[in-house]
């Protein structure tokens, strides 16, 4: 043992798991991470365009909540757009929650949104003469059903043959995109435009009605109802309990007498149905049209929301708002300072990186080599 590697010192930094941390401390760490992210972004922005970062951040806020003029009102059009998009993202994330809690990685929200949107648009086009209440029941029912059906296939395959749901749901997205192209061609209006155009622009049949004169309050009501409902379902219902057990260990579930296949299929149907319903919210409550961009990557962004919120539907509200705010703000600075979209993505990326990184410091602590010991 001549060539023994004898280390004289302990390592400089060691990493140890924390057992728990007071709530305020973990919130503080997360807030600090955002502040730090903003500082880093600020430095980069200054290096690129030599603009005061504070100005840039101000325009980000303005991008999301409207320009700060003298007669500034918080609930202006921009704020409402931000709220509308937040609700959309939240709705999808809430839809993903039950599947993810069961460790069923539903990557197919995009597709489920699209088919839900197609179903809604179809109702708006073909059933516009129905009384409004009936029309809405049809639209809701059709979008729920469409989303559920779209998730049924991967769910059955998973339950029966244990296929990989990630690939399966992902590929269903591409089928849904093609299907949407087909319907866009079918419903093309005006002819040759290759878009569906605004559906029912005059009578506004099947549009979300304004509540108290506010265009998007209906979106808030619908999505918040689902959010609260899902929270209660997951936390207090027997089916929610089954989902948690199956997600932790299928063997334990079998041991407890839970029909695992049934739970997988049922939960996935619920997940798909709510994602389908977000298609309804997107078409009937926001764009009033359908295109292959109706989902627009929100089905994937919602995965980040669901994970960051650790599947807690109430936390999802905050995370959705943050992501939409970043998105709006980034677009605003990109246009205001004549930068391209990549800068926007870059800023969003940096901030997300810091938020995800903060989880490390919440769960682990670093131990530095202490000085006193070396003196010994």
Partner 1 sequence: MQNNIAVKLQDITKTFGKQVVANKDVTLDIRKGEILSLLGENGSGKTTLMNMLAGIYFPDSGHIFMDTDGEGLKEVSICSPKDAYALGIGMIHQHFKLVDVFTATENVALGLDKSIAFNKKQIAQDIKAICDKYGFKVEADKKVYNMSVSEKQTLEIVKALYRGANILILDEPTAVLTPQETDMLFDVMRNMKADGKSIIIITHKLNEVLEISDRVSILRKGEYVGTVDTADATVSSLTEMMVGQKVTLEIDRKEPKDIKERLVVKNLTCVNKYGVKALDNVSFTAYGGEILGIAGISGSGQKELLEAIAGLQDTVENSSIEYIAPEANTPSQLIGKTALQIKNMGVALSFVPEDRLGMGLVGTMGMSDNMMLRSYRKGFIFTERKGPKSLAQKVKDDLEVVTPSITTPVRKLSGGNVQKVLVGREIAAEPTVLMTAYAVRGLDVNTSYTIYGLLNEQKEKGVAVIYVGEDLDVLLALSDRIMVLCDGKLNGIVDARTTTKEEIGLLMTHLREEENDNG
Instruction: Enumerate binding residues for partner 1 (CB under 8 A).
Output: 1-11, 14, 16-20, 236-238, 241-242, 244-245, 248-249, 251-252, 254-259, 367, 373
Q: Which residues pair with 14 in a beta bridge?
A: 367
CA angle 343, 349, 350 (to 5 degrees): 95
When the beta carbons of 242 and 327 are compared against partner 1, the nearer one is 242
Q: How many residues does the chain have?
A: 376
Q: How far is residue 43's CA from residue 266's CA, in Å, rounded to a whole number?
A: 49
Residue 6 CB, shortest distance to partner 1, in Å, is: 5
When the beta carbons of 14 and 77 are compared against partner 1, the nearer one is 14
When the beta carbons of 234 and 281 are compared against partner 1, the nearer one is 234
Residue 16 CB, shortest distance to partner 1, in Å, is: 7
3-state secondary structure of 364: strand
The conformation of residue 204, written as its DSSP 8-state character, comes to -
Residue 223 CB, shortest distance to partner 1, in Å, is: 23
Q: Which residues contact 176 (CB under 8 A, 6 or more apart)?
A: 110, 111, 112, 114, 115, 150
Residue 241 CB, shortest distance to partner 1, in Å, is: 5
Q: How far is residue 56's CA from residue 332's CA, in Å, rounded to a whole number?
A: 9
When the beta carbons of 21 and 152 are compared against partner 1, the nearer one is 21
Residue 269 CB, shortest distance to partner 1, in Å, is: 17
- Whether 374 and 9 have beta carbons less than 8 Å apart is answered as yes
Structure tokens at 98: 């039950």
When the beta carbons of 2 and 375 are compared against partner 1, the nearer one is 2
CA angle 10, 15, 20 (to 5 degrees): 135
Residue 363 CB, shortest distance to partner 1, in Å, is: 11
When the beta carbons of 121 and 309 are compared against partner 1, the nearer one is 309
Q: How far is residue 35's CA from residue 30's CA, in Å, rounded to a whole number?
A: 9
Q: Taking Cα atoms as reference points, which of 55, 104, 37 lies closest to residue 358?
A: 37
């Amino acid at each position: 043992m001549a060539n023994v590697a004898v280390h004289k010192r302990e390592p400089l930094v060691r990493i140890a798991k924390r057992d728990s941390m007071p709530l305020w401390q973990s919130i503080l760490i997360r807030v600090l991470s955002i502040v730090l992210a903003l500082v880093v972004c600020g430095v980069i922005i200054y290096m690129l365009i030599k603009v005061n970062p504070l100005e840039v951040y101000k325009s980000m806020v303005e991008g999301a909540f409207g320009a700060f003029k003298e007669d500034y009102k918080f609930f202006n059009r921009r704020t409402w757009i931000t709220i509308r998009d937040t609700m959309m993202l939240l709705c999808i994330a809430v839809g993903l929650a039950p599947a993810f809690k069961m460790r069923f990685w539903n990557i197919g929200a995009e597709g489920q949104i699209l088919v839900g949107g197609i179903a809604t648009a179809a109702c708006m086009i073909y059933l516009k003469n129905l009384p409004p209440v009936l029309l809405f029941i049809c639209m809701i029912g059709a979008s729920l059903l469409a989303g559920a059906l779209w998730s049924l296939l991967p769910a059955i395959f998973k339950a029966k043959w244990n296929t990989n749901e990630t690939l399966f749901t992902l590929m269903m997205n591409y089928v849904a995109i093609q299907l949407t192209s087909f319907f866009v061609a079918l419903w093309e209006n005006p002819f040759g435009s290759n878009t569906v155009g605004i559906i029912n622009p005059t009578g506004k049949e099947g549009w979300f009605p304004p509540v108290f004169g506010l265009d998007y309050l209906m979106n808030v009501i619908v999505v918040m109802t689902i959010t609260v409902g899902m929270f209660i379902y997951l936390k207090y219902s027997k089916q929610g309990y089954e989902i948690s057990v199956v997600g932790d260990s299928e063997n334990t579930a079998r041991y407890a007498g839970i029909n695992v296949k049934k739970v997988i299929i049922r939960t996935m149907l619920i997940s798909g149905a709510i994602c389908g319903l977000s298609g309804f919210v997107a078409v009937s409550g926001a764009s009033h049209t359908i295109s292959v961009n109706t989902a627009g990557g929100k089905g994937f962004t919602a995965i980040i929301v669901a994970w960051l919120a650790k599947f807690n539907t109430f936390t999802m509200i905050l995370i959705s708002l943050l992501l939409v705010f970043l998105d709006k703000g980034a677009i605003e600075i990109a246009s205001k300072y004549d930068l391209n979209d990549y800068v926007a993505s870059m800023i969003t990326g940096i901030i997300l990186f810091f938020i995800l990184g903060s989880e490390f410091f919440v769960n682990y602590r670093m131990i530095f080599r202490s000085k006193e010991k070396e003196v010994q």
